Amino acid sequence: MSTRLTSSGDADVAQLPERAGPLDVWPASTAPLPDGDLAVGGVPLASVARTVGTPAYVLDEAEVRDRCRRYRAAFPDGEVLYAAKAFLCRAMAHWIHEEGLGLDVCSAGELELAVAAGFPPERVVLHGNAKSPADLAAAVRHDVGRVVIDDPSEVAPLAAAGTPERPRRVLLRVVPGITAGAHHKIRTGTEGQKFGVSMTDGSAQHTLTRILGHPTLRLTGLHCHLGSQITSVKPYLVAVRRLTGLLARVREQHGVTLPELDIGGGHGVAYRPGEESLDLGDLARRVRTALTESCAAAGVAVPRLTVEPGRAVAGPAGVALYRVVTVKRTGGATFVAVDGGMSDNPRPALYGVRYAPRLVGRRGSGTYRRVTVVGRHCEAGDVLTEDVPLPSDVRAGDLLAVPVAGAYHLSMASGYNLVGRPPVVAVRDGEARTLVRRETAADLRGRDLGL
């Protein structure tokens, strides 16, 4: 799809009172229209739904670019890597490259897509707790900027792929022993989970010694990742201090000064009005101060700082669109069922995340009732959000829009019930274009080779 979609004049938009709740978790370009619709990037959401159908994801290109620029401004002397696992397509890789960010990938698939989009491999970092031989081979073939060693077993194959004249650049992911993150399933900085090597049992120090013993490897620094949806700066400050201590021990024991410190991402965003998000400016100021002070106290040079935002770049730039299929009132509750669900957004079922859907495309009644918005799938846990206000006259055929849908939606989408994954439509300056087409029944049949 590539078509010109226009909204009403600015005067009408400005005069319309906002009656269905604040827009503070929506893309900055979001504007209410007189007919009850919303425009994002100058494109009415109802027009997108009519053109490509539902479910569908809408991605505000200007919002993505603006968030990239905010990160570059907050860390002017550091490196910002966009975490591709949040959402990646060729257009997204192109935007990230143009805005001066690097890329953090977790598989050969993500790497190959980025390279196909023209992303420079030297600005790519490969992560992963269980990198397959194919993942490592792709990293070597494309000569990525760095590989993050997550397990000692990765040392030998990477060393074999380098030469003393051209050593393979690596980071070591360590576990700083910090509990952070909105849900226990997305806390990755604690002991007893699958990522990284422990600082407390000597594994990190042993692996560091192994890496430094290989002339075909160049250890450029330390890496950690604390978790996801973190809204407090404090865990990052603790991580900086603990990793600075390890930097000092490496210099004392091996005479090596490591020039990089990657503190990962996990920067939290608000999914509903009133929720907390991580203050980027506060994070940048306090982390830089903590790093400078810790290095001075330890007597080591200040390393280059790297951060890895994913959700905080893509999440608030996205909107999910659904059609209401049924409205069922039973057992004293009202269930509004839509034509998508856990196949296009498993996060509510996985982590208990809740969203703030909104009726768009028409004006609803002036009264609201609290409802549970559910999906179409054969699971009792297929719940998008509970106890949210929607107009009391919401009915089948209505269009619901869900903000903060740009991260971990399509990237985690599944083939459950064979409904097909939704398309992604980019909007900017009144233009809409399809970035990723809808997965069709023909696509699903094509993968099945038959009896």
Q: Are residues 28 and 93 in the same domain?
A: no
Query: CATH number of the domain that 396 lies in?
Result: 2.40.37.10
Residues 379 and 432 in one domain: yes
Q: Are residues 150 and 196 in the same domain?
A: yes
pTM recorded for the entire structure:
0.92
- Residues 298, 351, single domain; the answer is no
Which of 252, 287, 314 is a domain's end point? 314
Instruction: Return d(Cα 259, Cα 277) in angstroms, integer.
Output: 30
Q: Are residues 336 and 254 in the same domain?
A: no
Domain count, the chain: 2
Active site residues: 378
Residues 381 and 437 in one domain: yes
Q: Do 365 and 320 sit in the same domain of this protein?
A: yes
Task: Among 272, 294, 314, identify where a domain stops.
Answer: 314
| pLDDT computed for residue 190 by the predictor | 54
Same domain, 106 and 194: yes
Are 43 and 191 part of one and the same domain? no
The one-letter amino acid code at 12 reads D
Chosen domain end from 314, 333, 363: 314
Q: What is the pLDDT of residue 450?
A: 85
According to the model, what pLDDT value does residue 21 have? 61
225: which 2 tokens?
């990742």
- pLDDT, residue 196, reads 80
Tens of each residue's pLDDT in the chain, 451 residues: 443 333 333 322 222 233 346 789 999 999 999 999 999 999 999 999 999 999 999 999 999 999 999 999 999 999 999 999 999 999 999 999 999 999 999 999 999 999 999 999 999 999 998 899 999 999 999 999 999 999 999 999 999 999 999 999 999 999 887 755 544 544 454 556 667 898 888 888 899 999 999 999 999 999 999 888 899 999 999 999 999 999 999 999 999 999 999 999 999 999 999 999 999 999 999 999 999 999 999 999 999 999 999 999 999 999 999 999 999 998 889 999 999 999 999 999 888 888 999 999 999 988 999 999 999 999 989 999 999 999 999 999 999 999 999 999 999 999 999 999 999 999 999 999 999 999 999 999 999 998 7
For the purposes of burial, counting CB atoms within 10 Å of the CB of 216, is it exposed (0-12), middle (13-18) or buried (19 or more)?
middle
Residue 129 sits at φ, ψ, to 5 deg, of -85, -15
Q: What is the CATH number of the domain that holds 70?
A: 3.20.20.10
**Structural domain range at position 135:** 61-314
Q: Are residues 364 and 441 in the same domain?
A: yes
**Domain check: are 46 and 104 in the same one?**
no
Find the Cα–Cα–Cα–Cα dihedral 206, 210, 213, 215, rounded to 10°.
-150
Statement to judge: residues 147 and 48 lie in one domain = no
